[in-house]
Amino acid sequence: MSVDKETVAKIANLARIEVSEEELESTVGELNNILDWVEQLSEVNTDGVAAMTSVVAADLPWREDKVTDGGYREKVLKNAPQAEHGFFAVPKVIE
């Protein structure tokens, strides 16, 4: 499996990462190196082996249905570039 320049540009755009034209060329090479390296895994036959989801035997922890958090609007809004009337204020997203 490998990626071309167009695919990398598309992925970068979807991830909202700016990659310049010059960077694009080298990024394609780097990504393909990584993909080749990961590709080695396919040499192992994994038919009938369940996907491993954790390196230690662990179960998903469950939480009781209780209100234990929230109620600190100032802290939540503190890093927002702009906040007004208790809302996050962002450039209008529809015309």
Partner 1 sequence: MTKLYQGATGDWEAVIGLEIHAQVISESKLFSGASTAFGADPNTQVSFVCAAMPGMLPVINEECVRQAVRTGLAMGCKINLRSIFDRKNYFYADLPQGYQISQFKDPIVGEGHVRIDLEDGSTKDIGVERLHLEQDAGKSMHDQHPTMTYVDLNRSGVALMEIVSKPDMRTPEEAGAYFRKIRSLVRYAGTCDGNMDQGSMRADVNVSVRRPGEPLGTRTETKNVNSIRYVMMVVESEIRRQIDVLEDGGKIDQETRLFDVATGTTRTMRSKEEAHDYRYFPDPDLLPLEFSQEFVDELAKDMPELADAKKDRFVAALHISPYNAGVLVAEKESADYFEALLAATVTKSGKPLSELGTLVANWVIGDLFGALKKLGVGITKSPVSIDHASELLCLQIDGTISGRIAKEVFENMLESGKSPEAIVEEKGLKQVSDTGEIEAMIDEILAANADKVAEYRGGKDKLYGFFVGQVMKQTGGKANPQVVNQLLRPKLDG
User: Which residues contact partner 1 (rule: CB under 8 A)?
Assistant: 10, 13-16, 53-54, 58-71, 73, 75-77, 82, 84-95
d(CA 15, CA 26): 18
Residues 5/24, Cβ–Cβ less than 8 Å: yes
Nearer to partner 1, 22 or 51 (CB): 51
- Smallest distance from partner 1 to CB 25, Å: 22
d(CA 14, CA 40): 27
- Smallest distance from partner 1 to CB 20, Å: 20
**What letter does residue 15 receive in the DSSP assignment?**
T
CA 29 remoteness from chain centre:
21
Nearer to partner 1, 37 or 72 (CB): 72
Nearer to partner 1, 44 or 50 (CB): 50
Residues 82/90, Cβ–Cβ less than 8 Å: yes
- Smallest distance from partner 1 to CB 44, Å: 20
